[in-house]
A and B are shown apart, each in its own frame.
Chain A
Amino acid sequence: MGRFRFTLYVAGDTARSQQAYADLRRICQERLGDGDFEVTVVDVTVDPDAAEAERILTTPTVVKEEPAPRRRITGDLSDAQKVLTGLGLAPGWPAVHPGSNP
């Protein structure tokens, strides 16, 4: 199981939702490598209670659940640099590989 857990909130099974999922996986793979992360997808139109519980307003929204601290970003995920910075995973940021020296 991956050390990094993400939840991706999308609205409906749309091209936009699929694009967000593909973008997130690609960015994570490039940055974190295979097998070091997992992504759970929540469709807010199917499970609005989950969106309510997490107080999600916008889609797509990515929540980095683990490791702490939790971070959330929203918007299309085409800009990898913005996505990584928003999630606190920008290259060179020490929190990404705790315990190992880059």
Chain B
Amino acid sequence: MTENLATVDKLETGIPGLDLISEGGFPRGRATLIAGTAGSAKTVFASHFLAAGVERGEPGVFVTFEDPVAAIRTNMASFGWDIPAWEREGKWAFVDASPDPDAAVTVVGDFDLSALLARIQNAVRRVGAVRVSLDSLNALYVQFKDHALLRSELFRITSTLKRMGVTLVFTGERTEEYGEISRHGIEEFVADNVIILRNLLTDERRRRTVELLKVRGARHQRGEFPFTVTERGIIILPLSGITLTQSSSTVRISSGNPTLDQMCGGGFFRDSIILLSGATGTGKTLTVTQFLAAGVAEGERSLMFAFEESRDQLYRNAAAWGYDFEKMERDGQLRVVNTYPHAMAMEDHLVQMRDVIREFRPQRVAVDSLSALERVTGMRSFREFVISLTSFLKQQETAGLFTSTTPSLLGGTSVTEKHISTLTDTIVLLRYVESYGQMRRGLTVLKMRGSSHDHDIREFEIDGEGMHVLGRFTDLSGVLSGNVTFLAGAGGGAGGRGGETHEERDAG
């Protein structure tokens, strides 16, 4: 049979995210090597591959060379996989090839692995296995020194099993994250496909990635993708695997502030991502509050991920501006999720956020603030996080409002913005302006993808009633850069427009 890119028959693995980056799963009836260093979640991967199969009606055989069977049953129960029940139902079978002190064997001459093969074949036939995991072959190399013989025997085993039509996964140990694929160089010889699991230390944080190094004769996504081990097993977070679609909805929603709506040409778009940037105290949380409340007022559901302020603080602030968050939450129209940024890794934040969004199905989501998350992770993880979150929100056709805190009070942009501005549809800036011994506030819509918008830099005030957007600054210029110039004869040629605005921002 010729290997045509279009016709390779793939087996959907059912491991979240994996089928997306592998563009449909593993080639059916082939052997895939899962290589990784110690602690890179190889055993979890090998188990998840089988568990996901069982859950979709495809029985599996687990051949263990290292961990005792009892330990695997116990360890995998923590992912919600009831292996003993599957064994009773004839959906899962173990072949125990783990070291047995009572069965230590002395090698006196040339041998073959026919007994192992016969046992695996027996188990495959007994449960009608579609999938087989072997974890990990390393133990064999320790036990048997003749690696040339092992190599040809493993080749014979994988070929025989492939002829039986099963799709194989086997794990192999690596000694370093970037280097030889496997310690003994044996596994890649017998593998059709190679997947690498990495457990990296970057920016003083652990970061797991998966890379499809080789998928013989089949299309797949290249590069490393972050993944995380959750209480439901492995979740791969596809980034470039998701096609980033720009805002496609023409339906407008209110920002909660009529003047801001007007400046955006009639409100934000239904499925757009809005970045709200400003120094501390410029009114970001107020803008968020109004945005969420506007949704609730329309009978929608609003969701807030609060990484900076506690629920009580948010309730109190909202109440001060006349919004009863407590009642909105009671009525099921609002949900505030309060998480400490340091509590978990970015990947886990993302998984948790996606879970809440899926469950609550909000029309509006606010993240206050992205900067708080950025502080606890590396730039790369952070950017991947934002890409994943924005594409996920777009898939759900949910409007997302992210806040970003600028480090300086006057002018300036934050690192956050620099890295994610291209991922957002709309950017709204809130800035302090120092003017004749007074702190004033300015607001502008910097970008509004797919719509015309107001280029004015407007002054706004905050009082007990909320935010009031006034007219544009006519007596000064240079608001965005923080280098304010006061204009004589105010009103005349005041206020930078359009292109000039951008130049000033870049200069700042």
| Interface positions of A (Cβ within 8 A of B) | 9, 11-12, 44-45, 48-49, 51-52, 54-61, 70-79, 82-83, 85-86
> Which interface class (under 10, 10 to 19, 20 to 34, 35 or more) fits B?
20 to 34
Could you tell me if B111 and A76 are in contact, using CB atoms closer than 8 angstroms?
A: yes
A73 contacts B100, CB within 8 Å?
Answer: no
The answer to whether B82 has its CB under 8 Å from any CB of chain A is no
Q: Are A77 and B108 in contact (CB under 8 A)?
A: yes
Interface of B is mostly: mixed
- Contact assessment for B118 and A44 in the assembled complex, using a CB-CB cutoff below 8 Å: yes
Contact A73 B108 (CB under 8 A): yes
Q: Could you tell me the distance between the alpha carbons of A75 and B210 in the complex, rounded to whole angstroms?
A: 39
CB distance from A49 to the nearest CB of B (A): 7
- The verdict on A58 contacting B111 (CB below 8 Å), with A73-B105, A74-B105 known, is yes
User: What chain B residues lie within 8 Å of A76 (beta carbons)?
Assistant: 108-111
Report whether B109 and A77 are in contact in the complex, using a CB–CB cutoff of 8 Å. yes
Query: In whole angstroms, how far apart are the Cα atoms of A86 and B104 in the complex?
Result: 11
Q: Which of B95, B106, B108, B111: most chain A CB closer than 10 A? A: B108
| A51 to B122 CA separation, bound complex (whole angstroms) | 10
Residue of A nearest to B117 (CB): A11
Whether B122 lies near A74 (C-beta < 8 A) is no
Residue of A nearest to B116 (CB): A57
Task: Please report the C-alpha to C-alpha distance between residue A75 and residue B149 in the assembled complex, in whole angstroms.
Answer: 12
Contact between A51 and B119, CB atoms less than 8 A apart = yes
Instruction: Return chain B residues, CB-CB under 8 Å to A45.
Output: 114, 118
B113 in contact (CB, < 8 A): yes
- Residues on the B chain within 8 Å of A49, using CB: 122
CB contacts (< 8 Å) of B100 on chain A: these are 55
Question: In this assembly, does B96 line the interface, its C-beta being within 8 Å of a C-beta of chain A?
Answer: yes
List A contacts of B122 (CB < 8 A). Answer: 48-49, 52
- B118–A73 CB distance below 8 A: no
- The answer to the question of B55 belonging to the interface, with a C-beta cut-off of 8 Å to chain A, is no
Query: Cβ of A56: which chain B residues have Cβ within 8 Å of it?
Result: 115, 119
Q: Is the Cβ of B108 less than 8 Å from the Cβ of A75?
A: yes
Q: Assuming the A-B contacts A54-B103, A55-B100, A57-B97, are A75 and B109 also in contact, with contact meaning beta carbons closer than 8 angstroms in the complex?
A: yes
B106 partner residues in chain A, CB cutoff 8 A: 71-74, 85-86
Distance of A83 from chain B, by nearest CB (Å): 5
Q: Which 8 A-B pairs have the closest CB atoms?
A: A75-B109, A11-B114, A48-B122, A76-B109, A86-B106, A82-B108, A58-B111, A56-B115
